[in-house]
């Protein structure tokens, strides 16, 4: 792959309008930019509804909100990438500094890892709620675990800001994309394996095993509290895995595509599969949580004053699907 990170003229118009610098990719990027706006709006609305759903357990809410924060970070990053591609394809201005791409990929790195790891923490809260019947404890414990998690994420993702390790380029002068030729492949391979095992596979395995165990435990034992409520929060944890699995498959597919030098297709995969994998999280939360749907209706219809907040019991808060 040709190194286009310096933004020279021979990289800005490769393909004579038939490659990524042609109108086809520009239209595709515009569609992805519009989808990014829709995703960000939906995610912000869902976060606001979760904040207002006071009848839900605050610990369940805070971890769901942090999952959505990771989605929002990646949605904003996709919006920046796709909007930039639209501008570069149709207006053909001077390329922005390459550091813009590094910052965007850093946001990607933090946001991508935050989703499965926050989902693991949410699954642990579900386990505590179902197995031990505890729905409330000191907020300090949840806050401390989240603070440690985000600090770790910010620290280990620094590798995306190191040009000698993770080089990026303006591929065909229109898209930020990793530059495998200029990157330190040995360090990338070690970091990639570490990230894959401890950032995706292990958290996703935990996020699958815990809700399955909770559902089996509910079925085989007589437990206190509302059984339907506990089944629903367990199923939500299980279904939220789908977005992370789609994202992981898309990342692996993009990596394989790059290895075989079909770089243009890899850019399409980065925009398409990467963006679409973010939608399941807010959609599933809206589907499973009645309180969230009610609060979203209240926000949309401007009836979200405290005097008109919808009061529901835990049995009504989460519907069994």
In this structure, is residue 10 part of a structural domain?
Answer: no
The reply to whether 6 falls in a domain is: no
**Strand-strand pairing, 168-171 and 175-178:** antiparallel
Q: What is the pLDDT of residue 102?
A: 93
Rounded to 10 degrees, the C-alpha dihedral 226/232/238/241 comes to -130
C-alpha span between 92 and 8 (Å, rounded): 13
Domain annotation covers residue 29: yes
Residue 7 inside a domain? The answer is no
CATH number at residue 111: 1.20.1070.10
The label of the residue with tokens 């805070």 reads 62
Asked if the structure places residue 247 within a domain, the reply is yes
pLDDT digits (tens, 9 = 90+) for 261-278: 556 777 888 888 888 888
The pLDDT tens digits of the residues spanning 248-257 come to 776 666 666 6
Residue 314 clears pLDDT 80, i.e. is over it: no
- Give the pTM: 0.83
**Residue 241 — pLDDT band, cuts 50, 70, 90?**
confident
With 90 as the cut, is the pLDDT of residue 69 above it? yes
Q: What pLDDT digit, counting tens, does each position of 105-146 carry?
A: 999 889 888 988 999 998 988 888 887 766 666 778 888 999
The CA distances from residue 4 to 9, 10, 17, in Å, are: 9, 8, 17
Q: Judge contact between 35 and 3, C-beta under 8 A.
A: no
Residue 129 lies in a domain: yes
pLDDT for residue 321 is more than 70: no
In a domain, 2, yes or no: no
**66 is a domain residue:** yes
DSSP string covering 18-85, please? SSTTSHHHHHHHHHHHHHHHHHHHHHHHHHHHHHH-TTS-HHHHHHHHHHHHHHHHHHHHHHHHHHHH
Instruction: Measure the CA–CA gap between 35 and 38, rounded to whole angstroms.
Output: 5
227 or 265, greater pLDDT? 265
Please give the residue range of the domain that contains residue 147. Answer: 20-317
For the chain, the domain total comes to 1
């Amino acid at each position: 792959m040709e190194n286009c990170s310096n933004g020279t003229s021979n990289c800005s118009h490769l393909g004579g309008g038939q490659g990524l610098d042609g109108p086809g990719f520009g239209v595709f990027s515009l569609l992805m930019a519009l989808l990014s706006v829709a995703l960000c709006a939906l995610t912000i609305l869902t976060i606001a509804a979760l904040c207002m759903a006071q009848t839900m357990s605050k610990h369940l809410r805070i971890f769901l909100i942090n999952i959505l924060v990771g989605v929002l970070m990646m949605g904003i990053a996709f919006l920046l990438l796709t909007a930039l591609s639209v501008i570069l394809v149709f207006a053909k201005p001077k390329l922005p500094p390459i550091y813009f791409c590094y910052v965007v990929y850093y946001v990607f790195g933090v946001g991508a890892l935050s989703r499965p790891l926050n989902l693991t923490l949410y699954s642990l809260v579900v386990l505590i709620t179902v197995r031990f019947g505890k729905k409330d404890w000191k907020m300090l414990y949840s806050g401390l675990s989240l603070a440690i998690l985000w600090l770790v994420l910010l620290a280990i993702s620094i590798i995306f800001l190191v040009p000698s390790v993770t080089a990026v380029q303006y591929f065909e002068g229109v898209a930020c994309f990793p530059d495998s030729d200029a990157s330190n492949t040995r360090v990338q391979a070690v970091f990639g394996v570490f990230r894959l095992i401890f950032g995706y596979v292990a958290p996703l395995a935990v996020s699958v095993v815990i809700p399955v165990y909770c559902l089996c435990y509910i079925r085989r034992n007589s437990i206190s509290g509302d059984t339907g409520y506990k089944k629903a929060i367990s199923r939500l944890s299980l279904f939220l895995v789908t977005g992370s699995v789609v994202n992981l498959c898309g990342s692996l597919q993009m990596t394989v595509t790059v290895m075989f030098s079909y770089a243009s297709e890899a850019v399409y995969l980065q925009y398409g599969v990467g963006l679409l994998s973010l939608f399941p999280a807010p959609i599933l939360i809206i589907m499973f949580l009645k309180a969230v749907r009610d609060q979203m209706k209240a926000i949309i219809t401007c009836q979200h004053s405290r005097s008109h907040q919808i009061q529901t019991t835990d049995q009504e808060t989460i519907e069994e699907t």
